[in-house]
Amino acid sequence: YELIIMQNQISITIDAVQEQAIVDKVNELSAVLPAGLVTLGETELSALPKMGDKSLAFVEKCLDSATKNPGVCPPFVDLEELRRDLAAYHALNRLHRVLGQVAAPVASSATVAGSDAYTAALAIYSMAREAARRGVAGAKDIHTDLSARFPGRGKAAKEA
């Protein structure tokens, strides 16, 4: 019998009115975001070269050099587009920091609330398993139903 230690790390309530008010505000924000924003998957993101502080200084220095010395700029590089991309990078990073002040605690709190709920559910599952072992009426059916979450585990899997 496993002992599951409960750590209720968060206890908040978000009622439907609050949730809708937040959704409405996010929709307001979405309405003023510029067209052309993209959403990439992990694979696409990992394939892109990333710009950090050192890369940013490099990009700015390249732009400055190419502006002052057009002969070092390849004909396929559009300096005006580079300026727009760099300005967008700065603006989007500022927005990301501001939005992160809201998004990060929401994401972390969702993870903690999910962890609390899952830990409590594991305690119930563990109790149902123990009750089934002890022959408590109805416990075997509950345990069997809940154990579907963990396929390939248990006595049958160990014997195979």
Q: Kindly report the average pLDDT of the chain as a whole number.
A: 91
Q: Percentage of residues in the chain with pLDDT exceeding 90?
A: 85
What lies within 8 Å, CB to CB, of 81 at 6+ separation is none
Structure token digits, residue 75: 């004909």
Q: SS3 sequence, 51-71? A: CCHHHHHHHHHHHHHHHHCHH
Taking only the tens place, the pLDDT of each residue in 38-68 is 999 999 999 999 999 999 999 999 999 999 9
Q: How many CB atoms lie within 10 A of CB 143?
A: 19
Q: Is 129 exposed, middle or buried (0-12, 13-18, 19+ CB in 10 A)?
A: buried
